[in-house]
Structure 1
Amino acid sequence: MKKSEYKIYIIGAGVSGLIAAQVLENHGYSPVIIEATSTVGGRVKSDIVDDYILDHGFQVLLSAYPATKKYLSFSDLELQTLMPGATIFNNGKTQTIGDPLRSLSLLFLTVFASVGSFSDKRKILKLNILLKKKKIAAIFKEKEQTTLQYLKDYGFSDKIISNFFKPFFSGIFLESNLETSSRMFQFVYKMFGEGNAVIPKNGIQEISNQLKNKLENTEFLFNTKVKEVLDDKIVLENNTELKSHITIIATEASSLIANLKNQETDWKSCDTLYFKTEKRVLQKPLIGLIADENSLVNNIFYHTSVATASKGNKELLSVTVVKNHTLNEKELLKKVQDDLDNYCAISGAIFLKRYQIKKALPKLSNLQYEISSTETKLKSTIFLAGDQLLNGSLNAAMISGERAALGVIQTLEDGLIVDELTSEYS
């Protein structure tokens, strides 16, 4: 059979599925991507509401991610750079802390900020230097403990942990107690130190769109839901059957494979609410952190503090909530607006849209950076992809998609399943 004649299906048009398709195309195959929604992107999506570009949750791209350097054209994304620091709202005051080695304007603000001791600030710089020298592979081989315990063992004070590390990394890890693996903390900290936090001018979906636009021989089946994946076919929700040689499941597989029914991934959730305001309380492109324990809001960011393709004429503010709550939307909106007023002196914000993201990040232990192509093989004709196989990051989504595709290619080119399928499809 010609490579282009193999029936290779990819379930899910998120980042890992799009990367898998790109790798397959690069090797001469022509896959079909089945996507339940109307667009590509998975969790990396944006909408346009009232002329504002709203990402599905406040998301940034870390430019130091190795896989993104390989698969994305940064220049075409028109990336807008955030400053390497944050403004902390606590006890009615604002203080800014950041990396003065990368932004000189943050030097005096950081030195005189009272969010931690001078010793804490020295340890932050020391940790930057340590992790820049440490290889990523070495980070993911270290003993795994909670991020909170790692910070305590490193000697950081309770004050700097409460005022900076907890609010900052809670917004990244989407949990408020820093229970996330210390491997992930070190990896993300290293990526922040080696590159920039950036946002595409046209919103985070531009990443997904760029990956899709690179595909030339991939077919898309949008608004198509899969009910079950079998060895040699895919059963759609409307009971249509699609004969397949190989399937890559680039989404959670537990509901699609009979023997995985009890192996569902646990997920972290969050709420992101967007508002338009008359003015900004943060003039520079910095993330605002609310360090007060009584605040439901974790962080805020003005998307109009950087260049954006949004055409609205007011400031665009995103507000992220990571703490668990049982509030309905009306109650949540009231609490968020009260927090904005009480802690950030933001009043009169006009609500645009809420994103309740129930599957924002996979909740994982024993985090890994790499996976071999053979490890993505669930069965001889079924492969898995997605960041839930490694760690919750865009980088991991790309690596897993690449490895799954390489596993498929190796299986086909080694002739491991060709004999049993050729007669059926000839």
Structure 2
Amino acid sequence: MRADVVVVGAGLAGLRCAQVLAAAGRDVVVLEASDGVGGRIRTDRVDGFLVDRGFQLLNPAYPAVRRWVDVDALGLQPFGAGVAARTEDGLDVLGHPLRSPGLLPATLRTAARRPREVAALARWAAPLLRPRPGRELSEVLAQRADVDRRTALDGAGVDGLLRRVVDRFFAGVLLEDDGSTADRFALLLTWMFVRGVPALPRDGMQALPEQLAATLGERVRLGQPVRRITGSSVETDDGTWTADHVVVATGAPEAAGLTGVPVPATKGVVTVWWSAPDAPDTDLLHVDARRTPTGPLVNTAVVSRAAPSYAPPGRHLVQGSALTRDGGDTEEMRRHAGDLLGVDPRGWEVVARHDVPHALPAQLAPFSSARPVRHGDLVVCGDHRDTGSIQGALVSGQRAADDVLAVGR
């Protein structure tokens, strides 16, 4: 079996890479080990519910999404542009004043009691607040000290409730609660949250990779695990493919095993989905901003309030997510979710539980937004070669395709 290019892995990076190569006239085949495209972006249908494998959201503000995805066709269902923080005194709300004007009174009440904390947070976020005529944000951030998130927030004097909200919010986004992520990456993500409201596609997150795969047709071969790559030969259970170029577009651990390429450490998450007969009327992400959190969750949300297509009529879908080290007890996760939402969760029933040990690559300081994709004769792509995000996966796939086409010239 032969092709011009064999792409190993049908996640976002592999699919984007194959799209570019096919459009350039290359004979490309994509070999995917599992029974569906998407890599870590998969959606299961369980008793009329849609449950993604790990709580994931799509930010339509990502430049790669705007450029290469038909966003309108996904039927995005946005969450509220804000966060609800459970405190010792009740519930404090912080929202984007322009994207969620209904949250403005609650946001002002929260901020008005903490002018010093607001000023400190503004110091930390200064690159996002100042005009940047003729300059990209990445250029501005390059002038900033390349330290971890904790060091940067401490340096700006961010503390109190707002510090706890920022830390707990990022714990769910970055899957770390120790502030070890590069500050530059945290600011880049913050800018994306300012520019767009994260949402869920009508048919689940897997609709995103399925849209990319639809342009490739029979070039995508499912159920084809790759056992070994030797030079230009790719060995599968069904035989060996030979190609002029081989692109490895798997997750970080698999890429390391197939190619020996150095990869960053990964961070894991546990997400439990519950069916609820009723639920609070809120489309906000809820976090525990008490000085001592009372449970393992980094966040919880009534998903069906933001994305009604995720639940059948008459039911609601609630998710709760915890870092892998904390997500052992499903019942404790349910109790904590009810506590954060301010309801009794004893009537909730488990729909699914997903343990995703390699959900995100770590993004440590010093920060690099683009690791090399060329590894000897092989090309390697994935969010572990770029930023740990949907944006990073798509851009990495594009860079891999560009590398193959450049060699072919």
TM-score greater than 0.5 by the shorter chain:
yes
Which structure 1 segments of 5+ residues have no match? 414-426
Q: Match of 2:70? A: 73
Q: How many residues align?
A: 394
1:405–1:115: structure 2 CA closer, same or farther, 3 Å change rule?
Answer: farther
Matches of 1:300 and 1:21, distance apart in 2:
36
For the residue of structure 1 that corresponds to 2:203, the secondary structure is coil
Residue type at the aligned position of 1:137: S
CA offset digits 1:83-115 (Å, max 9, x no partner): 211111122622211122332211210121279
1:342–1:303: structure 2 CA closer, same or farther, 3 Å change rule?
Answer: closer
CA offset digits 1:5-54 (Å, max 9, x no partner): 85310001000000001110121112111101000001111110111000
Matches of 1:197 and 1:276, distance apart in 2:
22
Deviation at 1:278, TM superposition (A): 1.7
Q: Match of 1:150? A: 152
Tell me the TM-score normalized by structure 1.
0.86
CA offset digits 1:217-251 (Å, max 9, x no partner): x6122111111112120122x38322221110001
Deviation at 1:390, TM superposition (A): 1.9
For the residue of structure 2 that corresponds to 1:254, the secondary structure is helix
Q: Match of 1:360? A: 359
**Residue from 269, 287, 290 that aligns with 1:289:** 287
Q: Match of 2:180? A: 179
Deviates more, 1:177-186 or 1:359-368: 359-368
Tell me the TM-score normalized by structure 2.
0.90
Matches of 2:72 and 2:125, distance apart in 1:
27
Q: Match of 2:384? A: 388
For the residue of structure 2 that corresponds to 1:244, the secondary structure is strand
Matches of 1:196 and 1:126, distance apart in 2:
23
Residue type at the aligned position of 1:57: G
Residue type at the aligned position of 1:157: D
The answer as to whether partners of 2:213 and 2:220 remain within 8 angstroms in 1 is no
Matches of 1:198 and 1:280, distance apart in 2:
19
Matches of 2:157 and 2:376, distance apart in 1:
47
Q: Match of 1:159? A: 161
Q: What is the alpha-carbon root mean square deviation over aligned residues?
A: 2.2
For the residue of structure 1 that corresponds to 2:211, the secondary structure is helix
Q: Match of 2:375? A: 378
Q: Match of 1:416? A: none
Q: Match of 1:58? A: 55
Matches of 2:308 and 2:122, distance apart in 1:
32
The answer as to whether partners of 2:9 and 2:39 remain within 8 angstroms in 1 is yes
1:227–1:161: structure 2 CA closer, same or farther, 3 Å change rule?
Answer: same
Q: Match of 1:266? A: 265
For the residue of structure 2 that corresponds to 1:294, the secondary structure is coil
Deviates more, 1:61-70 or 1:112-121: 112-121
1:21-420, aligned counterparts within 5 Å?
Answer: 21-91=18-88, 93-113=90-110, 117-124=114-121, 130-131=127-128, 133=131, 135-138=136-139, 141=142, 142-162=144-164, 164-216=165-217, 219-236=219-236, 238=237, 240-251=239-250, 252=252, 253-257=255-259, 259-260=260-261, 263-281=262-280, 283-292=281-290, 293-310=293-310, 312=312, 313-322=314-323, 324-325=325-326, 327=328, 332-343=329-340, 344-347=342-345, 348-365=347-364, 366-370=366-370, 375-380=372-377, 382-413=378-409
Matches of 1:225 and 1:32, distance apart in 2:
13
Which structure 2 segments of 5+ residues have no match? none
Deviation at 1:404, TM superposition (A): 0.4
1:304–1:295: structure 2 CA closer, same or farther, 3 Å change rule?
Answer: same
Residue type at the aligned position of 2:390: L
CA offset digits 1:121-150 (Å, max 9, x no partner): 355567667415452322552432121221
CA offset digits 1:130-179 (Å, max 9, x no partner): 415452322552432121221222232233212x1111110000011221
Matches of 1:310 and 1:45, distance apart in 2:
14
Deviation at 1:304, TM superposition (A): 1.0
1:91–1:345: structure 2 CA closer, same or farther, 3 Å change rule?
Answer: farther
Q: Match of 2:9? A: 12
Residue type at the aligned position of 1:233: S
